[in-house]
Structures are given as C-alpha cells and as structure tokens.
C-alpha cells in the first residue's frame, strides 16, 4: 500500500484529500506545516508527497528546495496552490517537483496525477548533499555565500581544514545541475585534453591534496592550466599546511596557484545549539545514499553531541563530526542511536579529565575560596565550549553582560579581542 503524505495548513483540505485517497486504498499521513512534514518524511519515507505552496512557517517551494539540497527528494512531489502561476510551476519543476495541481482540485485530476506519480518509474535519485541543506544555520549560510562569491570570480578555490566528505559537500554546492563531475584522486592514468573536454563546464574535485601521488599532481597541474579555456571550476581540499606539501616535493608554482583563493570552514565551537540539526542532516544523507542502515538519533544522543567540547580548529570539528555521525550509524546496535553510543565512540578529552581532577582539591578549602575556584573553572570551561562567544556565555550562565565582564575580571580570567565579540 502506497504511503502518501499530504502537507497543507488548511485542515479542511487535509481532511478532504485524506478521505478521497483513503477511499482509493492509499495509506495517508497528514502534516499541517513544514515542521511536521520534515518529521514524517524522516520517519516514514512516503511514496508520494502532496505539498501546498503557501504555508505559514516555511512555504512549500522552500521545503522542496531544502529536500532537494539535502538529497531527500527521492520520492515524487506534487505541488498544490490556489494562487499558482506559470513561474511558480516552472520553479517547482526545476527543483524536482513531479507535477503541479491548482486548487480547487478536481477529483479526477487529483486521482490521475497521483496514479501517474506513483507509476513514475524513474530510478531513485540520491542527489548529493550541499551546503544549501544547512541554510537554517546562519554561520554555515554565511560560509556558503563566501564560497559562491569566491567561485564566481575564481575558477580555482581551495578549502582548508576539511577533506573527504565535508569537502565534497562544499564542492557539490558549486556544481551546477547536471554539470559533469571529475574526481581527480580517482584517476590513476595521465589526464588528457580529451578527458577534460568531456567535462567542459563542469567541476573538478580533489578531496585531499595530501593523498595525491606524483602522476595525480601532474594531472592537477595540467587541469589548472586549462580551467578558463574549458569553463571548468576546480575545488581542492587540504587539512595540513601547504608548506608540508612543499617539503614532500610538490611543485611550488602549483602550490602558489592553489593558495591564491582559499576558505576555511567555520569552527563548530560556539554553535552547540545548531549541532543536532547538522548531525541529523548528515545522518539522513548517509541513509539516503545507502551507506548505512536506517538510524535515528535519540534526544539524549543529540544533547550529548551538543555538549561535546568541539575545538576551535575547523579540521578538528567538521571532519570529526562527519566521521562521528557515520561511525555511530555503522556501529549502533539499535535503530535509535543513544547518548551511550555517543559516549562510546567519543574519546575523553585530556583537558576534560584534568578539569575533573582539579575539582578534588576544592573539597579541602574554605567555602569562599572553593566557590571562587569553582566559578573560575566554570567560566573557563564554558568560554572554551562556546568558542569565546560572550553573548552565548551570558545566555548560558544567566548573567547580564556587564555583570559577566565584572565577574570574569574579578576571577582573573583574561579576555582577548575575539572573546569580546
């Protein structure tokens, strides 16, 4: 029995469509807004979605784009609207909508469209994950804008601090729909002009410069010299300083070209509240691509991810999070990933152990001295956890900022300019 998800903010329309479709033998689920639709989509993976365009929280086109960017659009989606235009229908089709129904919806039109959509035998698509999917995280959205701005002016962009899967997410963000894709690291033979011409107008990707052999380095240099002529975009990634590649025998002229335009992924430190949604997106992407069995995070697991001491170095955060989510999905014994699973695969930080050890001497001190020492440990811990963000430290501690500054000064905690942001 096909599962059909009906998403519409008008209760009368939801109930009417539900009655009609149930009478036709379909299993119908209802969502009154985008939030409910996201939850049901993650839990059930419906065979068809009937999606209203005009909704109060997130409109249907935005939700369609979100699913498209997150690689979740592997079921047909039929858009519905009482105020539809040709432009709206074209935009919806561009982002993967199967068809468009104008309200009020005629019974025969509804049933025929549903039948056609369910019989649509196009192979399941697994669109790659892009940064567009993280659009509700302001700091990722800002990085995406910088990346697109850089790529608009330069055919070569270097991503620092993120390799492999995270680097590919950045690169896929710049890939135009249906544009060719070439991973240079997978090429073991010499790159030729003919090979490059086959991907004209596309994107060349290098997931990690450090793993390229001599032949692949020569291929990279060959491609770099022909980017403009063939309208190619090249995105390379590296986690270590380029000076180490120079010491390993890389051509310095090539390294100079690679380092002209670069961006580093922003650190996760200071964005603890956004980690659960980011982790859930990564997990869903692994599932949709068939890399792991279906899994979901428990509330406890998401809270555990939120409180991990993410470091300020990008390579020690995004890469760790990407690998951590995949590891959890592969090694969890139950369908629901628990907080205990997160603790099981997360190494205990040395500084966390030292913080706990430093509490023991407090029990031998007078109350006033012990309280002051604990407060200093408390604020130093949360300063590190929030990446030095004073606004978030004030929110977490419940102190007004002026009072917070006085307290830190009283405790002898030095602040640099970054902390004062």
Domains of the chain by residue range:
3-119, 131-264, 272-345, 350-411
For residue 32, the model assigns a pLDDT of 95
For residue 133, the model assigns a pLDDT of 87
The 10s digit of each residue's pLDDT in 164-194 is: 889 999 999 999 878 999 999 999 899 999 9
Cβ 75 vs Cβ 47: under 8 Å:
yes
CATH number of 131-264: 3.40.50.300
Model pTM score: 0.66
CATH number of 272-345: 1.10.8.60
Range 3-119 classified under CATH 3.40.50.2300: yes
For residue 401, the model assigns a pLDDT of 83
Task: Give the C-alpha separation, 31 to 40, whole Å.
Answer: 8
For residue 190, the model assigns a pLDDT of 95
Evaluate whether 272-345 and 350-411 have a shared fold.
no
Cβ 76 vs Cβ 50: under 8 Å:
no
The CATH fold assigned to 350-411 is Arc Repressor Mutant, subunit A (1.10.10)
Cβ 202 vs Cβ 181: under 8 Å:
yes
Beta strands in 226-382 (DSSP E): 233-238, 262-264, 296-297, 336-337
Written as one string, the DSSP assignment of 265-308 is: PPPSTT-GGGHHHHHHHHHHHHHHTTSS---EE-HHHHHHHHTS
Backbone dihedral angles phi then psi of residue 146, each to the nearest 5 degrees: -65, -40
Q: pLDDT (tens digit, 0 to 9) for every residue of the chain, 421 residues total?
A: 899 999 999 999 999 999 999 999 999 999 999 999 988 987 778 999 999 998 888 899 999 988 887 778 888 999 998 876 667 777 788 788 899 998 889 999 999 999 999 987 554 556 788 998 888 889 999 999 999 999 999 999 999 988 888 999 999 999 987 899 999 999 989 999 999 999 999 999 999 999 999 999 999 999 999 999 999 999 999 988 899 999 999 999 999 999 999 999 888 877 888 888 899 989 988 887 788 998 999 988 988 888 787 655 555 578 888 999 999 999 999 999 998 999 888 765 544 455 556 566 777 788 888 888 888 888 887 776 666 678 878 888 888 888 888 888 888 887 754 444 4
Residue 382: exposure state from Cβ atoms within 10 A (0-12, 13-18, ≥19): middle
Using CA atoms of 291, 292, 296, 298 in order, give the dihedral in degrees to the nearest 10.
-120
Cβ 118 vs Cβ 76: under 8 Å:
yes
For residue 350, the model assigns a pLDDT of 45
Instruction: Tell me the sheet residues that pair with 282.
Output: none
For residue 351, the model assigns a pLDDT of 47
């Amino acid at each position: 029995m096909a599962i059909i998800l009906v998403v519409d903010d008008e209760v009368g329309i939801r109930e009417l469509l539900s009655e009609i479709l149930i009478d036709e033998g379909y299993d119908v689920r209802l969502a009154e807004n985008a939030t409910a639709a996201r939850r049901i989509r993650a839990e059930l993976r419906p065979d068809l979605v009937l999606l209203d365009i005009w909704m109060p929280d997130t409109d249907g086109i935005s939700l369609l784009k979100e699913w498209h960017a997150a690689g979740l659009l592997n079921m047909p989606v039929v858009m519905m609207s009482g105020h539809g235009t040709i432009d709206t229908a074209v935009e919806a089709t561009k982002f993967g909508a199967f068809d468009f129904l104008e309200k009020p919806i005629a019974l025969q039109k509804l049933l025929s469209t549903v039948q056609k959509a369910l019989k649509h035998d196009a192979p399941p698509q697994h669109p790659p994950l892009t940064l567009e999917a993280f659009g509700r995280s302001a700091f990722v959205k800002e990085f995406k804008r910088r990346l697109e701005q850089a790529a608009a002016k330069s055919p070569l962009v270097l991503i620092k601090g993120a390799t492999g899967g995270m680097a590919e997410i950045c690169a896929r963000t710049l890939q135009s729909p249906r544009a060719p894709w070439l991973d240079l690291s997978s090429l073991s033979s010499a790159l030729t002009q003919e090979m490059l011409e086959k991907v004209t107008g596309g994107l060349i990707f290098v997931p990690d410069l450090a793993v390229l052999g001599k032949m692949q380095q020569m291929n990279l240099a060959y491609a770099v010299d022909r980017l403009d002529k063939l309208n190619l975009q090249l995105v390379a990634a590296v986690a270590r300083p380029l000076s180490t590649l120079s010491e390993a025998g890389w051509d310095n002229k090539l390294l100079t070209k690679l380092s002209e335009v670069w961006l580093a992924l922003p650190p996760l430190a200071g964005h603890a509240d956004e980690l659960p949604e980011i982790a859930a997106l990564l997990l869903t992407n692994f599932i949709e691509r068939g890399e792991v069995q279906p899994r979901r995070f428990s509330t406890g697991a998401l809270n555990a991810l939120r409180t991990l001491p993410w470091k300020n170095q990008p390579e020690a955060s995004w890469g760790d999070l990407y690998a951590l989510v995949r590891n959890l999905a592969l090694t969890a014994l139950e369908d629901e990933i628990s907080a205990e699973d997160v603790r099981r695969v997360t190494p205990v930080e040395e500084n966390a152990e030292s913080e706990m050890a430093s509490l023991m001497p407090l029990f031998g001190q007078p109350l006033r001295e012990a309280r002051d020492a604990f407060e200093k440990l408390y604020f130093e811990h949360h300063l590190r956890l929030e990446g030095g963000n004073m606004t978030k430290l004030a929110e977490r501690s419940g102190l007004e900022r002026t009072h917070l500054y006085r307290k830190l000064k009283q405790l002898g905690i030095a602040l640099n300019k970054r902390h004062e942001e």
